[in-house]
Chains A and B, each alone.
Chain A
Amino acid sequence: MKLINQWPQYYKKNVVTHYCPGCGHGVVHRIIAEVLEELDVGKRSLLVCPAGCAVLAYHYLDIDVIESAHGRGTAIATGVSRANPDLFVISYQGDGDLSAIGTAETIHSANRGENITVIFINNAVYGMTGGQMAPTTILDQGTTTTPLGRNSTLDGYPLHITDVVAAFPGVAYAERVTVATPGGIRKTKKAITNAFQTQIEGLGYSIVEVLSPCPTNWKMTPLQACRWITEEMSKEYQPGLLTDKREEKRKQKG
């Protein structure tokens, strides 16, 4: 019999999940574990995990992990990567972490072209603190701090931060994907593979934005949440490649 799939080496076994039913973190964690194994970088990896639901990522991923204060993930990743350029460094961040409190760190680590990979989980809401508005909350979306829906006059507009950093010369690879459908999950794996390869080749900053369901805070069933990503959230944040300067970077490197 041919073995077509097995438990990833860097994904811990027999761990009870703390994520809510229908949450996207588990899917993305598993993809990261699979790609680390496929590209053979798990043993020299250091994951920076964020404040928020994914702070306990070390319960699941069997690689070295350091926690970060709110928003500081890419600053820590910068310190790790500059101190030890041989390490493979991932900063795993949510939307509040990356595009609100950590905006400065996000912008400047990307602009410096740090040789790190950012996995950006966008669920358009603050998850762990109980469903408040995030910079990525879409217009009219209800949250605990936009009870009547996000109003652009009062609350500003959804922030497309990955589009912003994708324009920087230091950013080698940026793609937006979704884990709301099986096809989306396959594309997510491809994008994460590309992003990791970017770092392995030393081409600079790479980021993958993942539109990810948060059924608990959206007050939906997991199925409704996936449908909402496909039908509503994807209109605001269209999945697709945002920049790919890898060829150009390879030429620069010689």
Chain B
Amino acid sequence: MNKVFMSGNHTIAEAAIRAGCKCYFGYPITPQNELGEYMAANLRQAGGTFIQSESEIAAINMVVGAAASGVRAMTSSSSPGISLKQEGISFLSGFELPAVIVNMMRGGPGMGNIAPAQGDYYQSTRGGGHGDYRTPVLAPASVQELADLTMVAFDLADRYRTPVMLIGDGMMGQMKEPVVFPELVKQLPEKKWALKGRGEGPSRYLASLILDGLENERHNWKLVRKYQEIADCETRYELYMMEDAEYAVVAYGTTARIIKGAIKRARREGIPVGLIRPITLFPFPEKVLQEIAHRIKGFLVFEMSTGQMVDDVRLALADYQVKVEFHGRPGGIIPTPLEFSRVINRHYRRMKK
């Protein structure tokens, strides 16, 4: 396919259709409405199902049903809507069902506003819903990456039988960039566990109710082993100008994009700074931080929040004698590269002392 110029929200929808997604269920919420609208226009034509559900809760439970019967299914929303979906995400995790959930974050808490923010990091990476579970979280930083990681999200979901989140924000969803779509997925993995009626075989059930305490404990440890395997095999990150860096910025998504301009500016001023961009937020790329910690004089974490991912950076570096500082803009404020470069400059001078 040729290069096309497309918005982030449309790109996710097109990539999902190409990944073999057959069911999309969602409830309108800004700033991700174009995703559902694209599905309404194109998924039905592609032989799939689009339902504008009565609520976010209904949408995620329709995903449960479609996923249980072996079909690739997704839903999308933005922060307040994702809060409503947490019940279903917990059940998907308990059932061990694959699904893709897109969150185009906005400024919160509560209704907040519809401007880009990164305040749902805790909610996405800590499970969010009730119970002991984690959700793999992918955080693209360009429209091309939205396309690529949407395909990855469906693959991870199927491979590990787990819901996978793709998180961006209002800016990622609304901005347009050139994108080349990956090839149409023709062969989907076989799902022997899917419920399609018992046929001639024995009947089966999908349940998350495990009344026996020891058995429930075993189930929980089994999930933990799965998350560990995901951590071992699926951690993704990008290093930018890190070869000779003495100072490292850690940022993801939109923030990481803006930071690149700030880093170029700082480099021109002689500051040896680079960027570590987590692409998977869970699993968090802690090893890469630990591997370079000995040669880094200071880490600076940028987020469009009051400070959430910074906790993961501090946890990763707990055993290392290195400074971790934070700069954040919550509430839907998008910092400029100039603001970031000033912050880098200030921290550089302070850390050098």
Contacts and interface: CB of A to CB of B under 8 A. Distances in A.
Q: Do A and B come from one complex?
A: yes
Interface of A: 42-46, 48, 55-56, 58, 61-69, 72, 75-84, 87-88, 104-105, 107-108, 112
Interface string B181-216: 000000000000001111110011111110000000
A77 B198 contact: no
Sorted nearest first, the 8 A-B pairs with minimum C-beta distance are A79-B65, A75-B61, A79-B62, A44-B197, A83-B66, A108-B54, A76-B65, A58-B205
B198 A78 contact: no
A83 B203 contact: no
A63 B69 CA distance: 14
B42 interface: no
6 contacts: A76-B62, A78-B65, A79-B64, A83-B70, A104-B57, A104-B58
B251 interface: no
B197 A69 contact: no
A108 B69 CA distance: 21
Interface residues of B toward A: which range?
35 or more
Interface centre among A46, A64, A67, A87 (most CB of B within 10 A): A64
A63 B207 CA distance: 14
A80 B53 contact: no
Contacts, number: 138
Contacts of A107: 54
B22 A83 contact: yes
B57 A82 contact: no
A88 B197 CA distance: 8
B25 interface: yes
B237 to A, nearest CB: 34
A87 B205 contact: no
B91 interface: yes
Contacts of A79: 23, 25, 61-69, 73
Contacts of B197: 43-46, 63-64, 87-88
B207 to A, nearest CB: 5
B209 A75 contact: no
Contacts of A75: 53, 57-59, 61-62, 64-65
B23 A43 contact: no
B306 interface: no
A67 B23 contact: no
